[in-house]
Amino acid sequence: MTTRPERRPWHRRRLILPLAALAIALAVGGVTTVRGAQAPTAGPLSGGNESVEAGVGLRSLSLGQTFCYGLVVLRNASRRQVTLKRVQVHGGEGLQVGTPRVMGPRRPETIATADACPKGTRPLRGYVVPPGSGVGDDLGVEVLLPITVLRKGKSRIDGISVMYTSGGRSYWVDDITNVVACTYRCEARPGGR
Amino acid sequence: MALAVVGVTASQARADGYSTTVLSMQLSGPDVDGRAVVVRAVDNTGSRGARQVAQVLATATTSDRGAAVLAAEPQALAAFVDDTGWVNFESQVLVDGEPRFTSFSRRWTGTDWADRDGRPAAVPLTMSTAAPTVTAEAPAGLAMTDVSVARQASRGEVACVWYDDSAGNALTTIGEFHTGANTKGSFTYGSSSDSDIGVGYNYGRGWSVGGSGHVGNSRSTYIRFNQSSNFHRQLRSTFQYVHWHLTLGPSCASASRWGQRYQKVTPSSWQSGSELGPVVKGSFCKSAAGRRSFAPNSDFYRGSKRAYTYGAAAKAWGASLSATSGFSKFVDMNYHFGGNKKVRHYLCGRPDILSSKIIYAR
C-alpha cells in the first residue's frame, strides 16, 4: 500500500499509460474518473492494495442497476488526523460511480460487494480519520462506492485512489483491485469470459 | 579479523541501487570468525549417478563478527535460471572441520538479487555454527513413487561433490482452499510450478532442514481444484525429489573427517497430478476483523501473494520437508458466490483477504 502526495501518474498493473494522452477526468460529486494514469509516496493513511493482483466482479446485472463496492479500508497508524477529500476512479468506462461514502470502525459488516450500500454511511468528503484508526481491533474506515451499470457487456475499474489532506498537504492512497461489472455471466479476472 | 571477500565484483553495491550481492551471511553461535564460505549455483534436477551440476560463484572468509558478503553476476548464471526466473544456490561453511550447507534461491530483479518475499539479498541471513538440529523422522505417510536408483556408484567419485544416487516422487502440499456456503471456487496451480520446498541434509546424525530450493519448471498444463460449497482442505500435487550423497575429503574437511558420507534431499521438479489433502477443521470467519461480505452473483479472485508455509508438506527418504507456494500468475484462487439472497457469503483473512496467506470462508 502506498500513499502519495498529490499528484502523480497512476501505475496500472503491467501497463503504465501516458497521462497526457489518456487522462479524461470527470468530476462527479467527489469522484473523478480517469482513464489512464497516475504514481507513489508517504502519507499517514494506508490500506490500499498496491501489489496484489485481485478483483471483485458482479455478474448478470441489468442496465441501470446499482451495486456497492467497499473493499478499500483505510488505516491511520500515524499520530495525525487526516481529512478525506475525494475518490479518483481509474478506468470504469460504462460505469457511473456515485458520491463516495464511508463507514467508521463501528460498522456491523465490512462489505466487498453488496446489492446496495448500507444505511448509516457518511459522505467521504470531509470525513476525519483519527489517529489509530484501523490499528489493533479498530476496523478502520471503509470506503463505499455506489456503482451503476450504464452499458451492456463487461466494464472494468482498474483501481481507485483516495485523496486526503493532513498537515496542510495532500496525499493519495492507491488501490489496484479491479472491479468488474457485467450484464451477462462473466468472470471477473482478466482474460475471463 | 578484517572482512575478506573474494569474488566480489566492483558492481556488488553501487549508489544507484544496483547490487550483485547474492548472499549476506551473518553467522551466529560460537567461533563465527574466520570461517571459509563458498557459494555455488546448483542445479537440483540431477541425473542418476552423475555429479550435481554446480558453479562456484564466490568464496569469502567471515569477519570477526561472523559476517560475509558474496556476490554473483546474473549474466554468469543463465544455465541455472529456471522457467520462472529463479536460481538455486547452496552455501558451504566450514565448522568443526566439516562443511555445513544451506540451500537458498534468488531471483534477479534487474537491479539486485531478491528472495522469495522480495527482500534484497543484501539483507543479512543468519546462519548458526551450532550443530544442526536433527528433525524428527518424517511421520509415516504416503510412500514415494516412481523411485529410480543409479545403477552403480560413479567410478572415481570426487570428494566433496554431491552425486545423484536416486530420485522419486512424493505428494507435496501446495496450498489450502476454503469455500463457504452457496459458493463455488477454484484453486489453480501451474502451468509453471511456483513452490519453495525444504532441502534436507543428513550429516550422519539424522536429517535436518537446511534452507529451501525453488521449483519453477513448466509443464504443458495446470492443475485446478474445482470445489463446491463448504470445502476446507489442504491440496497436494506431486513433485520429484533427488537424493544425493557426498564424501568428505581434503578440499572440504579436516583429515579426521575424510571418508565421512553426507546425504541431502532436494526438490527437483513438479510432476503435476493432484490430490486432496487433509481436512482443515475449525470455525472460520466468525469475527468481523479481516472479514468481507460478498453480494449474491459476485466473484472474487486473487493472485500474486505468497502463500502459507506448510511444515511437513512432503517426506522423502525420511526427510520431512516444508513447502511454500506463491499465489501468482502460476497459483491463484477464484470464488463464485451463488445467487441465493438468503445466504451470506464471507471470506476472511488476517489482516485482510488481499494480504493474508490463507483465505478462509464461511
B206 and B324 together in one domain = yes
B63 and B193 together in one domain = no
In the numeric block, the cell 532436494 is attached to B266
Domain boundary among the residues B129, B157, B185 is at B129
B74 and B216 together in one domain = no
B167 and B115 together in one domain = no
B199 and B290 together in one domain = yes
Query: Which among B288, B297, B332 is the nearest to A110, CB-wise?
Result: B288
Residues of chain A in contact with residue B334, where contact means CB-CB under 8 angstroms, are 187, 189
> Would you say residue B139 lies in a domain?
no
Q: What is the pLDDT, as a whole number, of residue B170?
A: 94
Q: What is the CATH number of the domain that holds B54?
A: 2.60.40
Q: Is B357 on the interface with A (CB under 8 A)?
A: no
In the numeric block, the cell 460504462 is attached to A94
Question: Distance between CA atoms of A36 and A24, rounded to whole angstroms?
Answer: 8
Question: Distance between CA atoms of B236 and B244, rounded to whole angstroms?
Answer: 24
Total domains in chain B come to 2
Residues of chain A in contact with residue B302, where contact means CB-CB under 8 angstroms, are 52-54
Q: Is A19 helix (H, G, I), strand (E, B) or coil?
A: helix
B92 and B219 together in one domain = no
Question: Distance between CA atoms of B187 and B185, rounded to whole angstroms?
Answer: 7
**Element (DSSP H or E) covering residue A20:** helix A19-22
Q: What is the pLDDT, as a whole number, of residue B92?
A: 96
Q: Is B109 on the interface with A (CB under 8 A)?
A: no
CB contact under 8 A, A54 and B302: yes
Question: Residue A97 — left, alpha, or beta (φ > 0 → left; ψ -120 to 50 → alpha)?
Answer: beta
> Would you say residue B174 lies in a domain?
yes
Q: Is B80 on the interface with A (CB under 8 A)?
A: no
Q: What is the pLDDT, as a whole number, of residue A165?
A: 96
> Would you say residue B102 lies in a domain?
yes
Domain boundary among the residues B98, B129, B160 is at B129
In chain B, which among 7-66 make CB contacts under 8 A with chain A?
Answer: none
In chain A, which among 168-187 make CB contacts under 8 A with chain B?
Answer: 177, 180, 187
**Element (DSSP H or E) covering residue A178:** strand A178-182
B122 and B158 together in one domain = no
Query: Which among B297, B302, B353 is the nearest to A60, CB-wise?
Result: B297
Q: How confident is the model at residue A25 (pLDDT cuts 50, 70, 90)?
A: very low
Q: Which residues contact B104 (CB under 8 A, 6 or more apart)?
A: B23, B88, B89, B90, B91, B115, B125, B211, B212
Q: What is the pLDDT, as a whole number, of residue B134?
A: 86
Residue of chain A nearest B331, judged by CA positions: A53
B85 and B161 together in one domain = no
Q: What is the pLDDT, as a whole number, of residue B116?
A: 83
Question: Distance between CA atoms of B259 and B207, rounded to whole angstroms?
Answer: 19
CB contact under 8 A, B299 and A177: no
**Element (DSSP H or E) covering residue A22:** helix A19-22
Query: Cell numbers of A87, please?
Result: 475518490
Average pLDDT, stretch A101-130? Answer: 96
> Would you say residue B134 lies in a domain?
no
Q: What is the pLDDT, as a whole number, of residue B1?
A: 28
Q: What is the pLDDT, as a whole number, of residue A32?
A: 63
Residues of chain A in contact with residue B305, where contact means CB-CB under 8 angstroms, are 52
Q: What is the pLDDT, as a whole number, of residue A1?
A: 44
Mean pLDDT, chain A, whole residue set:
84
Q: What is the pLDDT, as a whole number, of residue B355?
A: 83
The pTM assigned to this predicted structure is: 0.83
CB contact under 8 A, B294 and A52: no
- Compute mean pLDDT per 10 residues along chain B, 362 residues long, and list them: 32 66 92 92 95 95 94 93 93 93 94 89 89 70 85 82 95 93 93 88 92 88 93 95 96 95 95 94 92 96 76 85 75 92 94 88 96
Query: Which among A112, A139, A188 is the nearest to B293, CB-wise?
Result: A112
Find how far residue A130's CA is from the centre of its chain.
20
Q: What is the pLDDT, as a whole number, of residue A17?
A: 33
Q: How confident is the model at residue A4 (pLDDT cuts 50, 70, 90)?
A: low
- What 3 state SS string does chain B have? CCCEEECCCCCCECCCCCECEEEEEEEECCCCCCCEEEEEEECCCCCCCCECCEEEEEEEECCCCCEEEEECCHHHHHHHECCCCEEEEEEEEEECCEEEEEEEEEEECCCCEECCCCCECCCCEEEECCCCCCCCCCCCCCCCEEEEECCCCCCCCCCCCCEEEEEEEEEEEEEEEECCCCEEEEEEECCECCEEEEEEEECCCCEEEEEEEEECCECCCCEEEEECCCCEEEEEEEEEEEEEEEECCCCCCCHHHCCCEEEEEEEEEEEEEEEEEEECCCCCCCCCCCEEEECCCEEEEECCEEEEEEEEEEEECCEEEEEEEEECCCEEEEEEECCCCCCCEEEECCCCCCCCCCCEEC
Interface test with B, best of A2, A176, A189, A193 (most B CBs within 10 A): A189
Q: What is the pLDDT, as a whole number, of residue B93?
A: 94
With beta carbons less than 8 A apart as the criterion, state whether A176 and A158 touch: yes
Q: What is the pLDDT, as a whole number, of residue B70?
A: 95
> Would you say residue B125 lies in a domain?
yes
Residue range A53-106, pLDDT digits in tens: 899 999 999 999 999 999 999 999 999 999 999 999 999 999 999 999 999 999
Residues of chain A in contact with residue B332, where contact means CB-CB under 8 angstroms, are 53, 189
Residue of chain B nearest A107, judged by CA positions: B288
Question: Distance between CA atoms of B111 and B19, rounded to whole angstroms?
Answer: 6
Interface test with B, best of A58, A69, A174, A175 (most B CBs within 10 A): A58
Domain boundary among the residues B75, B99, B129 is at B129
CB contact under 8 A, A56 and B347: no
> Would you say residue B140 lies in a domain?
no
Q: Is A93 on the interface with B (CB under 8 A)?
A: no
Distance from CA of B318 to the nearest CA of A (A): 37
Counting Cβ atoms within 10 Å, is residue A63 exposed (0-12), middle (13-18) or buried (19+)? exposed
Distances in Å between the Cα of B329 and the Cα atoms of B134, B219, B222, B273, B305 are 36, 14, 11, 19, 10
Kindly tell me the sign of the dihedral angle through the C-alpha atoms of A183, B346, B191, B148.
Answer: negative
Find how far residue B130's CA is from the centre of its chain.
22
With beta carbons less than 8 A apart as the criterion, state whether B233 and B176 touch: yes
Instruction: ipTM value, please give it.
Output: 0.85
In the numeric block, the cell 476525519 is attached to A128
Q: What is the pLDDT, as a whole number, of residue A13?
A: 44
CB contact under 8 A, B293 and A114: yes
CB contact under 8 A, B288 and A67: no
> Would you say residue B292 lies in a domain?
yes
Average pLDDT, stretch A16-39? Answer: 42
Q: Are strands B261-279 and B305-316 parallel, antiparallel or unpaired?
A: unpaired
B149 and B123 together in one domain = no
Query: Which among B293, B299, B354 is the nearest to A109, CB-wise?
Result: B293
Question: Distance between CA atoms of B60 and B55, rounded to whole angstroms?
Answer: 15
Q: Is A101 helix (H, G, I), strand (E, B) or coil?
A: strand
With beta carbons less than 8 A apart as the criterion, state whether B178 and B236 touch: no
> Would you say residue B138 lies in a domain?
no
Distances in Å between the Cα of A151 and the Cα atoms of A91, A187, B67, B152, B296 are 14, 17, 62, 70, 21
- Say yes or no to pLDDT of A18 above 70: no
Domain span holding position B221: 145-245+254-361
Question: Distance between CA atoms of B171 and B273, rounded to whole angstroms?
Answer: 9
B206 and B344 together in one domain = yes
Q: Which residues contact A78 (CB under 8 A, 6 or more apart)?
A: A44, A131, A166
Q: What is the pLDDT, as a whole number, of residue A191?
A: 79
Residues of chain A in contact with residue B342, where contact means CB-CB under 8 angstroms, are none
B218 and B327 together in one domain = yes
Per the document, the length of chain B is 362
In the numeric block, the cell 474506515 is attached to A141
B39 and B92 together in one domain = yes
